[in-house]
């Protein structure tokens, strides 16, 4: 839903993992081969007087900096430094699409104490310092992802050349895992790209494309990717990169190429300003303020990064290195880091299709309903090359949807991630229409019509009359049970739920819902389409509210009760964001739409009875009656005005709230209790979903909660939270609230079992 | 203006051939960068050259193979019985390309035109900003990829591992051969042109045989600082026009002409405009040979358009690669590279210049003249063009 903004940071994980498409690559013969010792990860040969070091970790799509690779690299470097024949070196990966994707996370995870991690960091620091001081120039030839430790290695080299390819991205994403660049990165980056840019890189973890990296001074030269020639494009491009790098290595050894980079006026001004201690202090202060505001102090890594950079700049390199390694050790042991790393693993898992290849690849897609959701689904489909029909009932509705798709693409043109020609080419994959023409070719139909069971039944019947036998019918609904929708189908095995989150082009999650009748091939097909659309996917069983909506509902019920107890919307928002939710609870209701919330609360209330009670539905009913539907109607708990960012409370709500007021129970109404009342109901319901096998794995539950509902990423999702916080403590809290409010807080059996057996969801 | 050059080419043709103006059924010209005032430059030039106002004329465009398109369109008209006598040609005026006002400026100017009251006009003028005056220059860049052609040529040369030295050597060869041909008076298809207010241009003025050392000093022009395509090994943009008389054989004989050559067969091809922009000749050559029932060995004179040394050499390597033929062209075997001793023996676009729209006729005439001079039956013309397109034609010497 609206959780997209704050967890936007996490979406970058995917970009990182998406870059890792490598195919086998045969290494070439050397002109004069010597020193060809068989090593596992690294080998090198000598071209005239240039040593070409090739990294190629066996049996893996990516190169990661692990212990073996590091020690082999040092061995090789020592040989090179000792050799009279070699005057310079080139460092290159033999895997197209990946230079070095980063340090081995498991190597850090295996450490038991901060000291162990600190030691790892210090080893890395020493190695890279030696490399930096090399008297023989080393050129890093970068093609594909160069992230984390990989970038730290590259910036320790004397020169960097990168391919100007979409797959070539540079960055230090450590902060997204709750740690920091621990191999000298915090010290070298500010020197290399300037303090502001270095902070930006380290604090956002963003991926930087090659052309941008060149402008920043992160790389020295760019090499254009080549088309087919004497060899396949990818292979020849790497070979060409190597040839160019060798030329530059020679030039550097002969001192024909200067290492000094000509800086632009702005750059010179910035670096001049950063030379003034007072200005630097102001920058630290400003950055720290911003970080505190954004993280609410819930994420320790960004603050430590600022600290380490500051130490290095103000107290010298040695102090900087020491601080870097120590803080790295401390961070690696934090709960936040464990939660974030857990999410990373979960995300990798949810980017795979465990149902296998579908029998027939979906090439023609049809989307019914050109509303916000329908057009969003169309947008993420056309740019992946799916031929997409967008069908609506009215020309106005259709036009609005087409415009939404075009705007989404055009925004990318403005950001220069697409050319206008590519935009037009992609937009051409979209066919807007009012009838069912062409549906006979559709491989999948996704309906995103209004949430009304009769309407859904109507379109299902209409569609089934025109689609081919193999075509999948997917329903995008947030609460209507899929088997109920499928009840009028002639072919229920082809019916499935695909629950997208709004805005579709920003939110990464896709919740796929299978009924008992849904065939495995249908599921495989839906997952394949979702993956193609760039989604992280959880597959859950059918039931009222599936997983995501079902978890959200009891929390929302508690939100209403808390409001009734006299906590104002602003206070409630700050309590929830203070706990790590990206969007405050009251704002969330406004964003989702009060009418939608009411619908869901009524439906699920009927299905689950008292467990979903708590707040009075009357509140939502009265709001709907007054037309306070949230952002879309301009008024909800807050007042929304076009173009105005700050929002004021809707004063007309005062009387509504006053009329429904209940007296709070002081023993469970502290700020902390309010936060935990919300979260514990969420967590309890999530555990219930696992217990009832709606969810297949806790990992999917965590990914769904974080990416779909904005559950605090620093807690890692409901299940990780239970593991890190302690199941017993959660059960105790639930029991305390149960004593005050009754059944709604009764801990589910699974949680009690976990607590009594002292078991964890993640081993 | 372009129609002046085109008119001169037409007058030259009339003068050389003595063809009565009124027997010409149709006139077709190729051009690339259009002068907006004479968008149908063929018609304006024909009227200016004194052709009958009853002779229709149209203009075609297909990047560097525009004149080829003009010729083959003529061939089509004759073959379908529409016409008997065609004049085909091409023209390009690179020294005065149309430079446009920016879109914002154009919009303001158009709106001003429509404004009715002084108030409306003033309010429009008040919206004027200095950046409206930034002009829009035509670029030699692909619309679909925004990549300039030189840049693409550099990448192509790298894909086929063509070295800087090979490129410089080839360019030098082109200039030397052009100089030799010029000195020996072989470039007989040139007519002098009097530039108003300036002296008369009597010969190709871009032929500059230099030395490899001199050429090696030049910096790369597109992929900096390590690319291989330089000003010296690229074709240069120049002004020029060409025209050619095409007739059905029986018509020519009936009128008492002795034809120079047959335009025997032709093909057009197209491929990926990004990575294979300049590989047209590689794709077109085997196709046109097959169509004409010939093999590479049957060809006595090759005339390829030299956009860049690197492009010519990359095409050679592609034509000589079984791997490329199998993986990209869907052919079982390679066609083979043309033997250099039969290739562009009188220079090419690198040394003679490349007026986009006019080059095609020059290629065909060079092939025809070489066949007459050097002997031999078949000539093969091939060229690449922006947009990732290509063309090839078989020219056959008319029996003596």
Residue A37 has a pLDDT of 56
Residue A235 is given by DSSP the state H
Band of residue B173 on the pLDDT scale cut at 50, 70, 90: very high
The yes-or-no verdict on residue A754 having pLDDT over 60 is yes
Cα within 13 Å of Cα(A424), Cβ side: 6
pLDDT tens per residue, range A33-66: 444 456 889 999 999 999 999 999 998 899 999 9
Hey, are the CB atoms on A224 and B314 less than 8 Å from each other? no
Shortest CA gap B319–chain A (Å): 11
Asked whether the CA dihedral A378, A379, A381, A382 is positive or negative, the reply is positive
Pick the CATH number of B2-95+241-255 from 3.20.20.150, 3.50.50.60, 3.40.50.720, 3.40.47.10: 3.40.47.10
Q: What is the pLDDT of residues A681-726, one digit of tens each?
A: 999 999 999 999 999 999 999 999 999 999 999 999 999 999 999 9
Query: Six-digit token pair at B354?
Result: 């490349």
pLDDT in the model for residue B36: 87
Tens digits of per-residue pLDDT, A455-467? 999 999 999 999 9
Is a pLDDT exceeding 80 seen at residue A530?
Answer: yes
Token pair in block for residue B315 = 């095409």
pLDDT band at B394 (very low <50, low <70, confident <90, very high): very high
Closest CA to B232 of B179, B310, B318, B302: B310
Q: At what angle do helices A317-332 and A114-132 cross, to 10 degrees?
A: 140
Task: Residue B145: list chain A partners with CB under 8 A.
Answer: 419, 421
Q: Which CATH superfamily is domain A42-333 in?
A: 2-enoyl-CoA Hydratase; Chain A, domain 1 (3.90.226.10)
- The CATH number given to B149-190+260-397 is 3.40.47.10
Give the Cα separation of A447 and A472 in Å (integer). 11
**A432 neighbors A448 (Cβ within 8 angstroms):** no
Q: Tell me: pLDDT of B212 over 60.
A: yes
- In tens, the pLDDT along A9-23 reads 333 333 333 333 333
pLDDT digits (tens, 9 = 90+) for B19-66: 999 999 999 999 999 888 999 999 999 999 999 999 999 999 999 999
pLDDT, residue B249, reads: 94
What is the rounded CA–CA span in Å between residue A642 and residue A666?
40
The mean pLDDT value of chain A amounts to 91
CB A398 within 8 A of CB A390: yes
CA nearest B364: which of B23, B2, B30, B21? B30
User: Are the C-beta atoms of A404 and A367 separated by less than 8 Å?
Assistant: no
Residue of A222, A227, A236 to mutate when probing chain B, most B C-beta within 10 A: A227
Q: Does an H or E element contain A138, and which?
A: strand A138-142
Superfamily of domain A364-543: NAD(P)-binding Rossmann-like Domain (3.40.50.720)
pLDDT at B216: 94
Q: Where are the beta strands (DSSP E) in B24-101?
A: 26-30, 57-60, 85-92
Give percent of chain A with pLDDT exceeding 70.
95
Residue B183: CB atoms within 10 A of its CB come to 10
DSSP A263: P
Q: How close does chain B come to A419, measured CA to CA in Å?
A: 8
Kindly state the percentage of chain B with pLDDT values over 90.
Answer: 82
Buried b (16+ CB within 10 A) or exposed e, A599-623: bbbebbbebbeebbbbbbbebbebb
Sign of CA dihedral A582, A584, A587, A589: positive
Strands A88-93 and A50-55: what pairing?
A: parallel
Neighbours of B210 (CB within 10 A): 15
The string of pLDDT tens digits covering residues B357-382 is 999 999 999 999 999 999 999 999 99
The third-level CATH classification (topology) of the domain covering A548-757 is 1.10.1040
B354 is catalytic: yes
Question: What is the structure's pLDDT at A195?
Answer: 93
Give the pLDDT score at A39: 86
| Catalytic choice (B64, B151, B361, B391) | B64
Q: Which residue has the higher pLDDT, B302 or A265?
A: B302
Residue A342 banded pLDDT, cuts 50, 70, 90: very high
C-alpha to C-alpha distances, B188 to B204, B239, B305, B346, nearest whole angstrom = 11, 18, 19, 11
* Pairwise CA distance, residues B14 & B18, whole Å: 5
Q: In which band, very low, low, confident or very high, does the pLDDT at B1 lie, cut at 50, 70 and 90?
A: confident
Picking from A221, A226, A248, the nearest residue to B158 by CB comes out as: A226
Q: What is the SS3 assignment for B186?
A: coil
Under the banding of pLDDT at 50, 70 and 90, the label for residue A644 is confident
Domain ranges in chain A are 42-333, 364-543, 548-757
DSSP tag of A42? E
Mark yes or no for CB contact B160/A229 under 8 Å.
yes
Q: How many CB pairs under 8 A join A and B?
A: 57
Please report the residues numbered 139 through 178 in chain B whose beta carbons come closer than 8 angstroms to any beta carbon of chain A: 143-146, 151, 154-156, 158-161
- Between CA A589 and CA A226 the distance in angstroms is 51
A21: number of CA atoms within 13 Å, CB side?
A: 7
How crowded is residue A367: how many other Cβ atoms within 10 Å of its Cβ?
28
- Answer whether residue A263 shows pLDDT above 90: no
Ranges of H-type helices in A445-568: 453-464, 482-486, 520-532, 548-564
Give me the residue from B145, B161, B225 closest to A229, CB to CB: B161
Q: What is the mean pLDDT of chain B?
A: 94
For residues B291-296, give the mean pLDDT.
Answer: 97
Cβ(A227)–Cβ(B274) under 8 Å? yes
Domain extents in chain B? 2-95+241-255, 100-136, 149-190+260-397
Nearest to A224 among B143, B155, B225 (CB): B155
Place of tokens 């508690």: A558
Q: Is A596 helix (H, G, I), strand (E, B) or coil?
A: helix
Using a CB–CB cutoff of 8 Å, tell me whether B324 touches chain A: yes
ipTM value: 0.92
Q: Give the tokens for residue A501.
A: 């989150």
Chain A residues within 8 A of B155 when measuring between CB atoms: 224, 226-227
pLDDT at A417 over 60: yes
Q: What's the whole-number mean pLDDT along residues A307-312? A: 96
Look at strands A169-171 and A145-147 and give their pairing: parallel
- In whole angstroms, give the CA distance from residue B56 to residue B69: 17
Per CB-CB distance under 8 Å, the chain A contacts of B161 are 229-230, 236
Phi, psi of A145 (to 5 degrees): -65, 130
Cβ contact A224–B223 (<8 Å): yes
Chain A closest-CA separation from residue B85 CA (Å)? 41
> Is the predicted pLDDT of residue A504 greater than 80, yes or no?
yes
Rounded distance between C-alpha atoms, residue B389 and residue B146, angstroms: 16
pLDDT tens for B296-305 read 999 999 999 9
Distances (CA, A) of A23 to A61, A151, A231, B78: 7, 22, 15, 54
Task: Mean pLDDT check: name the lowest of A272-281, A707-716, B59-68, B216-225.
Answer: A272-281
Q: Which of B159, B277, B388 to probe by mutation at the A interface, max A CB count within 10 Å?
A: B159
Q: Which residues pair with A236 in a beta bridge?
A: none
């Amino acid at each position: 839903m609206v959780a997209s903004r704050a967890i936007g940071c996490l979406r970058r994980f995917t970009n990182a993992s998406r870059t890792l498409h490598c195919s086998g690559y045969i290494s070439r013969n050397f002109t004069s081969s010597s020193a060809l010792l068989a090593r596992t990860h690294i080998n090198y040969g000598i071209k005239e007087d240039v040593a070409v070091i090739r990294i190629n970790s066996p049996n893996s799509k990516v190169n990661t900096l692990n212990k073996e690779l590091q020690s082999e690299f040092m061995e090789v470097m020592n040989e090179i430094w000792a050799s009279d024949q070699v005057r310079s070196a080139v460092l290159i990966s033999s895997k197209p699409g990946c230079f070095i994707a980063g340090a081995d996370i498991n190597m850090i995870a295996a450490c038991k104490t901060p000291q162990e991690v600190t030691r790892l960091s210090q080893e890395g620091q020493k190695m890279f310092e030696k490399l930096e001081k090399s008297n023989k120039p080393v050129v890093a030839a970068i093609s594909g992802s160069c992230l984390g430790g990989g970038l730290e290695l590259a910036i320790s080299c004397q020169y960097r050349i990168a391919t100007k390819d979409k797959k070539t991205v540079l960055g230090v994403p450590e902060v997204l895992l709750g740690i920091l660049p621990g191999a000298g990165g915090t010290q070298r980056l500010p020197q290399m790209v300037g303090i502001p840019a270095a902070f930006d890189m380290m604090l956002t973890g963003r991926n930087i494309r090659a052309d941008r990296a060149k402008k920043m001074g992160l790389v020295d030269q760019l090499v254009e990717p080549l088309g087919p020639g004497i060899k396949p494009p990818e292979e020849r491009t790497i070979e060409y990169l190597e040839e160019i790098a060798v030329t530059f290595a020679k030039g550097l050894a002969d001192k024909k190429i200067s290492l000094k980079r000509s800086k632009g006026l702005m750059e010179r001004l910035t670096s001049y300003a950063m030379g003034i201690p007072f200005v630097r202090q102001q920058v630290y202060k400003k950055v720290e303020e911003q970080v505190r505001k954004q993280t609410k102090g819930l994420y320790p890594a960004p603050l430590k990064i600022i600290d380490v950079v500051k130490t290095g700049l103000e107290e010298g390199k040695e102090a900087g290195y020491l601080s870097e390694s120590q803080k790295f050790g401390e961070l690696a042991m934090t709960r936040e880091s464990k939660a974030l790393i857990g999410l990373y693993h979960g995300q990798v898992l949810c980017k795979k299709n465990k149902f296998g290849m579908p029998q027939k690849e979906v090439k023609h897609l049809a989307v019914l309903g050109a509303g916000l959701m329908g057009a969003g689904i169309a947008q993420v489909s056309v740019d992946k090359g799916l031929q997409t029909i967008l069908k609506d009932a009215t020309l106005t509705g259709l036009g609005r949807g087409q415009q939404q798709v075009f705007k989404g693409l055009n925004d990318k043109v403005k950001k220069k991630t697409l050319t206008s020609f590519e935009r037009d080419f992609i937009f051409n994959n979209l066919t807007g229409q009012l009838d069912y023409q062409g549906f006979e070719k559709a491989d999948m139909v996704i309906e995103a019509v209004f949430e009304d069971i009769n309407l859904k039944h109507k379109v299902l019947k209409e569609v089934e009359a025109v689609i081919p036998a193999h075509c999948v019918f997917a329903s995008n609904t947030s609460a209507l049970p899929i088997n109920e929708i499928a009840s009028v189908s002639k072919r229920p095995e082809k019916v499935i739920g695909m629950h997208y989150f709004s805005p579709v082009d920003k939110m990464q999650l896709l919740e796929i819902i299978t009924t008992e009748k849904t065939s495995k091939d249908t599921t495989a097909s839906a997952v394949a389409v979702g993956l193609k659309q760039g989604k992280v996917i959880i597959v859950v069983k059918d039931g009222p509210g599936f997983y995501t909506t079902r978890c959200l509902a009891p929390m929302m019920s508690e939100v209403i009760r808390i409001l009734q107890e006299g906590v104002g919307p602003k206070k409630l928002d700050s309590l929830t964001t203070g706990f790590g939710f990206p969007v405050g609870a009251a704002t969330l209701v406004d964003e989702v739409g009060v009418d939608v919330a009411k619908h869901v609360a009524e439906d699920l209330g009927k299905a689950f009875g008292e467990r979903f009670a708590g707040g009075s539905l009357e509140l939502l009913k009265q709001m709907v009656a007054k037309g306070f539907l949230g952002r879309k109607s301009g008024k909800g708990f807050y007042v929304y005005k076009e173009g105005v960012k700050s929002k004021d409370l809707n004063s007309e709500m005062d009387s509504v709230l006053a009329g429904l007021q209940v007296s709070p129970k002081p023993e469970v109404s502290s700020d902390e209790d309010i936060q935990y009342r919300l979260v514990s109901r969420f967590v309890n319901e999530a555990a219930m979903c696992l217990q009832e096998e709606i969810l297949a794995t806790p990992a999917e539950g965590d990914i769904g909660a974080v990416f779909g509902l904005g559950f605090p990423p620093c807690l890692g999702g409901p299940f990780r939270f239970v593991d890190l916080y302690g199941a017993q403590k959660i059960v105790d809290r639930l029991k305390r609230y149960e004593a005050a409010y009754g059944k709604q807080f009764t801990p589910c059996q699974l949680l009690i079992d976990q607590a009594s057996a002292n078991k964890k969801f993640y081993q | 203006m372009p129609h002046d050059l085109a008119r001169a080419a037409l007058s030259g043709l009339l003068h050389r051939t003595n063809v009565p103006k009124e027997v010409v059924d149709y006139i077709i010209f190729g051009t690339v960068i259009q002068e907006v005032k004479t968008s149908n430059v063929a018609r304006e030039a024909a009227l200016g050259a004194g052709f009958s106002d009853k002779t229709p004329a149209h203009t075609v465009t297909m990047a560097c193979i525009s004149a080829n398109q003009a010729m083959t369109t003529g061939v089509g008209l004759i073959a379908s019985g529409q016409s008997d006598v065609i004049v085909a040609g091409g023209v390009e005026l690179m020294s005065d390309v149309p430079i446009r006002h920016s879109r914002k400026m154009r919009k303001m100017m158009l709106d001003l035109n429509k404004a009715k009251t002084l108030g409306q006009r003033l309010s429009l003028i008040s919206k004027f900003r200095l950046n409206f005056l930034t002009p829009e220059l035509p670029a030699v860049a692909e619309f679909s990829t925004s990549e300039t052609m030189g840049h693409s040529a550099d990448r192509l040369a790298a894909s086929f591992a063509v070295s800087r030295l090979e490129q410089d050597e080839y360019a030098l060869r082109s200039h030397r051969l052009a100089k030799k041909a010029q000195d020996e008076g072989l470039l007989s298809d040139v007519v002098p042109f009097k530039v108003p207010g300036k002296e008369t241009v009597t010969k190709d003025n871009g032929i500059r045989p230099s030395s490899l050392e001199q050429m090696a000093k030049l910096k790369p022009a597109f992929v900096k600082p390590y690319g291989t395509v330089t000003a010296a090994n690229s074709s240069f943009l120049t002004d020029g026009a060409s025209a050619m008389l095409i007739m059905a054989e029986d018509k020519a004989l009936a009128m008492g002409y002795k034809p120079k050559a047959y335009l025997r067969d032709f093909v057009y091809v197209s491929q990926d405009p990004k990575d294979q922009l300049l590989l047209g000749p590689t794709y077109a050559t085997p196709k046109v040979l097959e169509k004409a029932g010939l093999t590479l060995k049957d060809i006595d004179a090759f005339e390829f358009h030299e956009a860049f040394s690197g492009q010519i050499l990359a095409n050679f390597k592609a034509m000589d690669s079984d791997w490329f033929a199998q993986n990209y062209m869907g052919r079982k075997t390679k066609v083979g590279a043309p033997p250099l001793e039969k290739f562009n023996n009188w220079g090419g676009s690198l040394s003679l210049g490349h007026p986009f729209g006019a080059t095609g006729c020059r290629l065909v005439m060079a092939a025809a003249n070489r066949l007459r001079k050097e002997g031999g039956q078949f000539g093969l013309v091939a060229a690449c063009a922006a947009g990732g397109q290509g063309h090839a034609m078989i020219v056959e010497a008319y029996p003596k």
